């Protein structure tokens, strides 16, 4: 009987400890800011290169130059006489060294592209809103120039 009581007490304490840790973790601030705020990242000064091996953009490489609210972008090796295009963006941390970047038209608000960039693994997932031509691409992302703001966590 004493053995059962000791084991039951141990199991009960373990359960309470696990729930206590889970509750404390849920209440702690997170990379995303949830549940109290929405964290964003200013990518000013970053230059990124994405290269795609799968999906719609297979074989293509792009350079993205970020400013405080806009990004200039274009294919690697293509001279557009400046950036090929400029669009607005918002960047949100979604995990450790992971950022979701959404490009959108400042006038209409239409989303033109969405990326999830994992800077730990160097993988980029790209989902352009074009269901006709196949919206998704998968490839690599490299930081060519780092901006002043660090990718969370610092």
pLDDT in tens, 94-136: 999 999 999 999 899 999 999 999 999 999 999 988 777 777 9
Three-state DSSP class for residue 63:
strand
Specify whether the CB–CB gap between 38 and 131 falls below 8 A.
no
pLDDT, residue 21, reads 36
d(CA 119, CA 114): 16
Pick the CATH number of 47-145 from 3.40.390, 3.30.360, 2.60.40, 2.40.128: 2.40.128
- Tell me the sheet residues that pair with 113: 103
Specify whether the CB–CB gap between 97 and 119 falls below 8 A.
yes
Domain boundaries, the chain: 1-30, 47-145
Q: Is the pLDDT of residue 149 over 60?
A: yes
Three-state DSSP class for residue 28:
coil
Residue environment code for 117-136, b if the CB has 16+ CB neighbours within 10 A, otherwise e: bbbeeeebbbbbeeeeeeee
Q: Which ranges of the chain would DSSP assign to H, the alpha helix?
A: 2-27
pLDDT, residue 77, reads 80
Which pair of structure tokens corresponds to residue 14? 């373990």
Residues 59-74: tens digit of each pLDDT:
999 999 999 999 999 9
């Amino acid at each position: 009987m004493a053995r059962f009581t000791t084991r039951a007490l141990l199991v009960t304490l373990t359960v309470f400890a696990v729930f206590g840790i889970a509750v404390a973790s849920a209440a702690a601030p997170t990379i995303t800011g949830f549940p109290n705020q929405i964290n964003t990242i200013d990518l000013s000064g970053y230059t990124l290169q994405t290269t795609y091996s799968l999906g719609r953009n297979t074989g293509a490489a792009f350079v993205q130059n970020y400013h405080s609210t806009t990004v200039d972008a274009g294919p690697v090796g293509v001279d557009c006489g400046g950036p090929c295009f400029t669009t607005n963006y918002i960047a949100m941390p979604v995990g450790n060294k992971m950022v979701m970047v959404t490009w959108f038209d400042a006038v209409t608000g239409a989303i033109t592209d969405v990326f999830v960039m994992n800077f730990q693994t160097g993988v980029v997932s790209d989902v352009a809103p074009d269901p006709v031509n196949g919206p998704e691409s998968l490839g690599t992302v490299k930081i060519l120039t780092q901006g002043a703001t660090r990718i969370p966590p610092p």
